[in-house]
Amino acid sequence: MAEEATGQTWVRYGQMLFSPDFTSARRDDGIEITFTRSERRVLATLIGRPGRVFSRDMLLDAITEIGSDSSDRSIDFLINRLRRKLGDNARSPQMIGARYGEGYLWLLKPVGSRPAAAGAHVVVGPVRGTGALDPDLQAAATQFADRFVAQLAPNFGPSRRVVLDPDCPHRSAFGADAPVIGVDLTFLTRAGGLDCVFRATEFRTGRTLSIRREAIAGAQVAENGAQAQAEALAARIATEIWAGLAVGTVQTEPLQVAMQNASLAIADGPHGWAESHRRLQALAAERPDDHAIRIMLANNIRTKYIQHGLEIFAAGEDSTAADEAGIEALVTGSLPFVQDDPALLASAGDLLFFIGGGYRRMAVELLEDLNRSTVALPSTLMTLGAMRYYVGEVEAGLQALDLAQSMAEPNSEFEIYVICLKCQALMAINDRERLDEVLALLYQRRPAIRFLYDILYGRPDALSPDAQGALAMMTVEQARGILIFADYLCARHFTIAEHRENSLKIPRAVLTARFGPEVLPPPMRWSQAEAALEETPQTY
């Protein structure tokens, strides 16, 4: 905290008050300390950038005039003298620290000060290793750090502030306003140039999300272009942060939810399907043996229909067969390698059930086995709950979903996903009373979803103004797209004909009342395939 003394604002570091010009300091026991001109200049330099390492040459420049014959050993003597005055032990320093081969740094922040990165979403820093570089490489490192931050910022939403703090302190120096993401940079010399090690972390926990080493100065970089390289590296690291956030939370939430939440941590809203697909394809090309990325890529293909299915089917497009083949290749190729990862295994089973065919029984058995052995219950229970009601065990499925919902944070994306699945199950068995209760909670949590869910699950004779307004503006192609969307993502998975019919009953009634029978789509490829499914419940 700043304190007043002799009309000037003194600044407290630890148990000592320093005058603004560093001519003197006062310890808490009342002892006054005075500093020489050289000591003042070194203190002002170090304290002006707490945590930054200053080389001996940099400190020498701060205390000497141009042409001075002072040597860098003079700095060592000066630092030792300052430590004695401050009562700072060189072996366990509290104020002036040393970095072997690099230089010296001031360890303390002013009492009551706020770190520069407080309130930012992303902090790039600390920046290490620059104190040991020659002036040319030091300038190259500084320029690269500035370029990197400028190129990283567009990868995050406009409300997600990205700052550069070369002296960023440890996360313990922050409170509730700590950044969400940290990217520290360490510069290292190599023959003919300069490398940078990037380490991205969940700032508040320290969990590593991404780490890589890249050449950032030298002949190779000069050919490629420094600006273009900074832009490419920033995009790549932002993608790795997104993937790291998603994979790191799959023990507590299903992968498809984790991917969406990771998008929200990066930007102001979830990535569009195409942007996520581009990021994942780049990662898969770079890391072909990373089966978590392959499972994420398969999940994202399905997400295409969740996010854009209404528009795709309204336009009369049908790439479902090709996309299912892509999901199948990615999942079956990765399945042998994710046997020891329950969360990824649950996601693989979920995707195999989605593409259907001969995989459904295997997928259900896989999830039932997982449910009996894994601690990754949130991921398993949600997926297993959906599988159970699709194969006819609706009440058992709802019990699993109830348990999954009890593990979800209220109003989280995970909870919303579970609530939406409950709507499917209750509509299939035509349980109007419980369905209305679940819809009421969903509309409380996500009011914007009401126009669509009223058409899918509401009461046709009591549609909300939102649904009525949407119907008034809707074209017959869009209405037909809704029916195909509901069939592809939900109805086709039910193995009992009555459940399939119930799941489409309300949207058919609402949309035929508005457009007539011509709104009904012709039998779809998957509808003909599902018609051959067994009609009896399967108990597991």
DSSP per-residue string spanning 217-274: ESHHHHHH-HHHHHHHHHHHHHHHHHHHHHHHTTTTS-HHHHHHHHHHHHSSSPPPHH
pLDDT at 223 over 60: no
Q: Torsion over CA of 480, 482, 483 and 485, rounded to 10 degrees?
A: 120
User: Comparing 18-27, 130-139, 258-267, which segment has the lowest mean pLDDT?
Assistant: 258-267
What is the reported pLDDT for 376? 58
What is the reported pLDDT for 225? 74
Confidence of residue 220 (pLDDT cuts 50, 70, 90): low
**Who wins on pLDDT, 207 or 427?**
427
Q: Sheet harboring 2-5: ordered strands across?
A: 2-5, 8-13, 16-18, 24-27, 32-34
Q: Mean pLDDT over all residues of the chain? A: 87
Could you tell me how many residues make up the chain? 540
Residue range 212-236: mean pLDDT, rounded: 78
Confidence of residue 1 (pLDDT cuts 50, 70, 90): very low
Number of CB atoms found within 10 A of residue 406's CB: 11
CA 144 to CA 195: how far, in whole Å? 11
CA 286 to CA 290: how far, in whole Å? 9
What is the reported pLDDT for 190? 82
Q: Look-up: residue for tokens 């419980």? A: 434
What is the reported pLDDT for 525? 66
Q: Sheet harboring 193-202: ordered strands across?
A: 162-164, 122-128, 181-190, 193-202, 207-217
Residue range 27-54: mean pLDDT, rounded: 88
What is the reported pLDDT for 237? 94
pLDDT at 66 over 60: no
**Who wins on pLDDT, 342 or 450?**
450
What is the reported pLDDT for 3? 42
Confidence of residue 289 (pLDDT cuts 50, 70, 90): very high
Strands 122-128 and 181-190: parallel
CA dihedral sign, ordered 220, 223, 228, 230: positive
CA 288 to CA 62: how far, in whole Å? 51
Confidence of residue 108 (pLDDT cuts 50, 70, 90): confident
CA 417 to CA 409: how far, in whole Å? 12
User: Comparing 65-79, 173-187, 248-262, 306-320, which segment has the lowest mean pLDDT?
Assistant: 65-79
CA 140 to CA 142: how far, in whole Å? 5
CA 290 to CA 344: how far, in whole Å? 12
Q: Which residues of 119-151 are buried (b: 16+ CB within 10 A; e: fewer)?
A: ebbbbbbbbbbbbbbeeebbebbeebbebbbeb
Is the pTM here over 0.85, yes or no?
no
